[in-house]
C-alpha cells in the first residue's frame, strides 16, 4: 500500500475566502496533475490522506473524489488531530466539513480530547508522517521566511525535511512559481477555448 499525505496552506492564509476564486481552480489543477502522476506510478493500492482544514487539505480531497473515477482503487482518508475540529467555524464552513467527512473512505480522530495545546498538533504531524510514504505540500518556503508568523504548512515542511533526511520518505513541494505557471497555462487554455488570440 502506498500513502500520499497532502497538506498546505489554509484558505485564509492565501486570502481565498470565495470558493469560486480562480486561484482555487489553479491550485486544484496542480493537485490533480501531481496526484494523478503519483497514482500513475503506483502498482499497489493507494491512499490519499489529509486533514480537515479548509484550503489545500479540502481541495485535495475534492480532487481525490474526481480521480476515483479513473483510479477506482484510490481511497481517501481524513485524519483529524482532535475531536470537535471546526466547532467554532461559521455554519457554512462546518457544513462543508461535514459533507466532506461523509464522502471519505476513512475518517479518524487522533486525540479523543478537544484542542488542549500544540502538542496535539505535533502528535498529529508525527502520525501523518509515520502513516504516509510521501508528502505533497503546497508551500513556498521563500515566501514564508519573510513572514512574521509562520503558516501551518511551514511546520509540515520542517517535519517533511527531517523525514526525508532520515530515510526513505519523499516530499514534493508546490511553490508559488509552480502555481503561477499553472495559472498562466490555464489562462492560455481558456483563451484558446474561446477562440481568442
| pLDDT tens across the length of the chain (197 residues) | 999 999 999 999 999 989 899 999 999 999 999 999 999 999 899 999 999 999 999 999 999 999 999 999 999 999 999 999 988 999 999 999 999 999 999 999 999 999 999 999 999 999 999 999 999 999 999 887 766 678 889 999 999 999 999 998 999 999 999 999 999 998 888 888 877 65
Half-sphere exposure of 130 (CA within 13 A, CB side): 8
pTM recorded for the entire structure: 0.93
Cα gap 120→136, rounded to integer Å: 22
Amino acid at each position: 500500500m502506498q500513502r500520499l499525505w497532502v497538506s498546505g496552506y489554509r484558505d485564509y492564509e492565501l486570502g481565498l475566502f470565495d470558493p469560486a476564486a480562480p486561484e482555487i481552480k489553479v491550485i486544484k489543477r496542480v493537485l490533480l496533475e501531481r496526484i494523478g502522476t503519483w497514482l500513475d506510478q503506483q502498482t499497489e493500492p493507494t491512499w490519499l490522506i489529509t486533514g480537515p482544514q479548509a484550503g489545500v487539505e479540502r481541495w485535495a480531497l475534492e480532487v481525490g473524489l474526481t480521480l476515483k473515477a479513473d483510479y477506482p482503487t484510490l481511497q481517501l482518508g481524513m485524519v483529524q488531530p482532535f475531536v470537535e475540529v471546526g466547532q467554532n467555524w461559521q455554519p457554512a464552513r462546518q457544513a462543508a466539513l461535514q459533507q466532506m467527512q461523509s464522502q471519505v473512505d476513512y475518517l479518524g480522530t487522533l486525540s479523543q480530547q478537544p484542542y488542549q495545546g500544540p502538542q496535539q498538533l505535533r502528535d498529529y504531524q508525527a502520525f501523518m508522517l509515520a502513516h504516509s510514504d510521501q508528502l505533497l505540500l503546497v508551500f513556498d518556503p521563500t515566501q514564508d521566511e519573510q513572514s512574521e508568523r509562520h503558516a501551518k504548512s511551514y511546520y509540515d515542511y520542517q517535519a517533511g525535511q527531517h523525514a526525508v533526511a532520515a530515510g526513505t520518505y519523499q516530499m514534493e513541494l508546490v511553490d508559488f512559481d509552480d502555481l503561477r505557471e499553472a495559472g498562466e497555462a490555464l489562462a492560455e487554455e481558456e483563451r484558446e477555448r474561446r477562440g481568442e488570440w
